[in-house]
Chain A
Amino acid sequence: GIQVEQSPPDLILQEGANSTLRCNFSDSVNNLQWFHQNPWGQLINLFYIPSGTKQNGRLSATTVATERYSLLYISSSQTTDSGVYFCAVSSGWGGATNKLIFGTGTLLAVQP
């Protein structure tokens, strides 16, 4: 099955710093989502980005499908950005089987 690797596994930042999280995947995908899991366990949908570039406030993401990687950029980090960031992909089509395969996550800690 498809493999998803995320780097770095852990990241400590000072408030206000920028960071880049990477997600590599082993096969073609037609769904790629970035999630933020907050300290209470909630999985918050950040981006649906199987290809291209999107921006939402201080966050942006780029997926280069032909080279099988995606990047999540966090600018001017805040303490509330702390948590685990997951990349998840799917290679299924249509309604039949679109299960998401998650990477192992990047644990981000933003210090005041």
Chain B
Amino acid sequence: AAGVIQSPRHLIKEKRETATLKCYPIPRHDTVYWYQQGPGQDPQFLISFYEKMQSDKGSIPDRFSAQQFSDYHSELNMSSLELGDSALYFCASSLGRTTIQETQYFGPGTRLLVL
């Protein structure tokens, strides 16, 4: 079965640089979530999209932005990178039905290292 695809899998950047992370959800999934997991921490919700509209926002820095495109893939753009942005970034997808909850399926993650 198809899974969530994230690219790149690893990324090394210098401070103050920009980075773009991409997420391709499971086919027919219309909802995408982004989570950030710092070293030794649990994953923290950043932002989500449902049918290409932002549906919820967590503790996402103003330096970060994201969008979901017409083909439902999503991109997380990070600018003015800081050392503290070094983390594992997960994308998850689900079917955003209106009456029931659906399982969120997680991608393999993008490991970002800021030097």
Contacts and interface: CB of A to CB of B under 8 A. Distances in A.
Contacts of B90: 43
B33 interface: yes
A88 B50 CA distance: 20
Interface stretch (A13-21, A66-74, A102-110): A102-110
Interface size class of A (residues with CB under 8 A): 20 to 34
Interface in B37-60: 42-45, 48, 50-51, 55-56, 58
Nearest to B33: A99
A57 interface: no
**Chain A CB within 10 Å, residue with most, of B51, B101, B108:** B101
Interface of B: 30-31, 33, 35, 42-45, 48, 50-51, 55-56, 58, 88, 90, 92, 94, 96-99, 101-106, 108-109, 111
7 contacts: A50-B101, A93-B99, A93-B101, A94-B97, A95-B50, A98-B31, A98-B48
